[in-house]
Amino acid sequence: MIGFLAPWFLLAGGAVLVPLALHFLLRQESRTFSFPAIRYLLRTERDHARRIRSEQLLLLLLRIAVVIVVVLLGARLHFAGEGGSHEPTALAIVIDNSMSASVVEEGRRRLEAIKAAAMESVAKAGHDDVVWVLRAGTPWVPAIRASAAGAGDAVAETSPSHGPADLPRTVRRAREIVGQSVLPAREVHLLTDMQASGLAAGLPGADALSGIPVVVFAAPGGDMRNRGVRMVSFDGGLRPLAGRRAEVAVAVAGGEAEDAVGVRLYVGGSVRAAASAPPGATVRLPAGPFAAGRVDGYAEIDSDALAADDRRYFALRVREATPVGVAGPAGFFLTEALAVMEEHGRVVRVPVRAAAVLFSAAGEGLDQREPSQAVVVLPAGDPALLPALNRRLAEAGVPFLYERPAVGGARLAAGGSSEAAGGPPAALDDAEVSVFHRIAPASAPLPRPGSALLSLSTGDPWLIEGRADSGPFMLVASPLNLEATRVPVSAAMIPLLEWIVDRLGGTGSGSTVEAGSPFPVPAGASRIRGPDGAERGVDEGRPFLETRLAGFYEALAGDSVIDSVAVNAPVAEMDLARASMAELRSAIPGVVAVADDLPGWRDGIFRARRGPEPWRAMIVLLLGLLLAESLVAAPRRLRGGQAERQGPARAGQ
């Protein structure tokens, strides 16, 4: 097949009419008279005229051929097949700049190899192409549309993010962008380090756009046993008490089994404790005592090829003893547990109206609490009291109700708690629950009225957290007595209550935001200063999105720091295992080629190729035609001039 890069120039082919018009319209017609004396010359004259007509026809054909060749050159004739040009293409370049791409191998980041391949895509893009650049590690950044030169600048400016990459979703977004283009060809270039976690999510419905081809550059890299700090937790997930020493648990993940790694705890920029631990172990370090207020710090290990996860940051507020009140018949076990906590300075018992956290048995005291108070609701053991409890919940604006209790051998679902992430104590896992009240939304549909912090093996929630107009609340699905559950006589009873009080009484210790995830802007903040020192304006009530780097994000009001948020590398990003080709093609349908080096990448991209343009051969042909036209035309002019010179001489003889 053949094609034309400038088909509009074919209109110039009408110029072939010019030599035709000159040939047919400007011919001179003459009348012939025969005299007896010159009849013997007629045969010679006819032979000469026949030769002249042949030369004129050949000259006409040569001139028409010259016009046609010039038109084909102007229209840029090309053939199908391999070559350096391609159809005008809507191209989306997806760069995987997630945390794993910042691994250093042989003195070079993997991201640099990814960017080098992306620059090859930009170099092969022509002025007729439209290019978008998307960065998978910073999905909140809009796709950058640019010319080839502008796309090169966007690629060069790409820096690593400490967040994860959802490659199937980003490729889907890229396909949607190029799918709206009117250009004849569309293509997505995905450049990644092939980390398995970036492809694990998949995306339902991606097949609908799989007709747009995806070419993948898989950055070369060997297997690597990365290590990092997986968890930092104070006092089992609780905020430390003012004036008391605390214990900090630091969990180290990954690495070689026989290696020991140094672990250091920094608070306020100074080393407070140090130890060594094998990978996979959890070390406990002393810290404190601290004064009441904000405390920032981090735990770090010896650096390796992936440095972004070798530190884990924390930002917490050291607490005083929490004021706690009880309304209604609390029961023996709850009363005794609160007394033990008060004896150890964890809480202080106060009247209902003065409490920061209110324990409400059967819903009593809900009508007396202030909007700033948090409430923990426990049902009464007598089902006959449920209507009164539900009425009190409705009057307090809590969008849940209790249904009649179920009796059975349920247990708290194993793995339902996550002490390492600031969740309920791990000792609650698999705890026996023999009687529980089902908790259901008071009306439907409700936009996320609350979330289940602990669930039963039946799937029913056992502990629900939420916020109503009247303030934050927690609902427990069974009374804390031996008729309902074995929790009151287990080692988890006091840690559970202390965790509830700490969570409702303020910001829990160890709570963290993953890089790449938003966090709510603290009240009163006008700007957020990131770990890189850059300040960004914010609107209160809107989440802050640009958490590209791990570290501290300080909320500023004027020149004052009013709060800080610790942002850490996602734990899933610590695993550098690479995906297989089968996993890649399963997660992203429509992959047409995969390359792991630059020569293979150059050969695989821009699939809608035009093939070579034979312009050199056509120029040679054009020169040959012009030369032939000159040779054919020149003898006639010479003969015509010689005849004119000989004519008067013969006439004078």
Find, among 501, 505, 500, 511, the residue nearest to 315 by Cα.
511
3-state secondary structure of 157: coil
The structure tokens listed for 411 are: 């247990």
Instruction: Look at strands 400-411 and 432-441 and give their pairing.
Output: antiparallel
**pLDDT above 90 coverage of the chain, percent:** 38
As a CATH number, domain 89-224+576-600 is: 3.40.50.410
Q: What is the pLDDT of residue 420?
A: 47
Q: What is the pLDDT of residue 61?
A: 82
Strand partners for 316: 295
Q: What is the pLDDT of residue 301?
A: 94
Number of residues assigned to the chain = 653
CA distance 379 to 329: 10
- Above 50 in pLDDT, residue 651? no
The structure tokens listed for 253 are: 């993940």
> Please, is 326 exposed, middle or buried when counting C-beta atoms within 10 Å of its C-beta (0-12, 13-18, 19+)?
buried
Q: CA-CA distances (angstroms) from residue 298 to 3, 90, 343?
A: 64, 46, 31
CA distance 464 to 531: 35
CA distance 186 to 90: 5
Output DSSP code: residue 573. Answer: G
Let me know: does 304 contact 310? Beta carbons within 8 Å.
yes
Cα Dmax for the chain? 153
Q: What is the pLDDT of residue 42?
A: 58
Q: Where in the chain is the domain with CATH 3.40.50.410?
A: 89-224+576-600
SS3 content of the chain, % helix, strand, coil (to 5): 35, 30, 35
Q: How confident is the model at residue 636 (pLDDT cuts 50, 70, 90)?
A: low
Helix (H) or strand (E) holding 633: helix 615-652
47 φ, ψ (degrees, to nearest 5): -65, -40
Q: How confident is the model at residue 79 (pLDDT cuts 50, 70, 90)?
A: low
Find, among 174, 155, 46, 62, the residue nearest to 111 by Cα.
155
CA distance 306 to 424: 31
Q: How confident is the model at residue 78 (pLDDT cuts 50, 70, 90)?
A: low
Could you report the per-residue pLDDT of 376-401, keeping only the tens digit for each? 999 988 888 889 999 999 988 888 99
CA distance 264 to 250: 9
Q: Please count the other Cβ atoms lying within 10 Å of the Cβ belonging to residue 593.
A: 15
Q: How confident is the model at residue 338 (pLDDT cuts 50, 70, 90)?
A: very high
Q: What is the arithmetic mean of pLDDT over 46-69?
A: 75
Q: Where in the chain is the domain with CATH 3.40.50.880?
A: 322-505
Q: CA-CA distances (angstroms) from residue 187 to 121, 585, 607?
A: 11, 16, 8
As a CATH number, domain 322-505 is: 3.40.50.880
Contact partners, residue 326, CB within 8 Å, separation at least 6 = 334, 335, 338, 349, 352, 358, 359, 361
Q: What is the pLDDT of residue 443?
A: 67
CA distance 129 to 178: 11
Q: What is the pLDDT of residue 594?
A: 94
Could you report the per-residue pLDDT of 556-572, keeping only the tens digit for each? 998 899 889 999 999 98
More confident residue, 209 or 579: 579
Q: Which amino acid is at 272?
A: R
The structure tokens listed for 386 are: 């449920």
Could you report the per-residue pLDDT of 534-547, keeping only the tens digit for each? 999 998 778 999 99
Query: DSSP assignment of 328-370, as one string?
Result: S---HHHHHHHHHHHHTTSEEE--GGG-SEEEEETTTTGGG--
CA distance 390 to 330: 18
Average model confidence (pLDDT) for the chain? 83
Let me know: does 196 contact 579? Beta carbons within 8 Å.
yes
Q: What is the pLDDT of residue 416?
A: 46
Helix (H) or strand (E) holding 592: strand 591-595
Q: What is the pLDDT of residue 207?
A: 55
Q: How confident is the model at residue 285 (pLDDT cuts 50, 70, 90)?
A: very high
Let me know: does 239 contact 317? Beta carbons within 8 Å.
yes
Find, among 67, 58, 242, 226, the residue nearest to 632 by Cα.
58
- Strand extents, DSSP E, 6-88: 77-79
Strand partners for 286: 247
CA distance 135 to 513: 21
368 φ, ψ (degrees, to nearest 5): -105, -10
The structure tokens listed for 240 are: 């430390």
Could you report the per-residue pLDDT of 152-199, keeping only the tens digit for each? 999 999 999 999 999 999 999 999 999 999 898 999 999 999 999 999
CB-side neighbour CA atoms (13 Å) of 170: 29
3-state secondary structure of 584: helix
CA distance 187 to 213: 5
Find, among 436, 452, 534, 442, the residue nearest to 485 by Cα.
436
Find, among 531, 521, 497, 337, the residue nearest to 427 by Cα.
497
**pLDDT above 70 coverage of the chain, percent:** 82
3-state secondary structure of 596: coil
Helix (H) or strand (E) holding 587: helix 581-587
Sheet strands side by side (includes 270-277)? 270-277, 261-267, 293-301, 311-318
Q: What is the pLDDT of residue 193?
A: 93
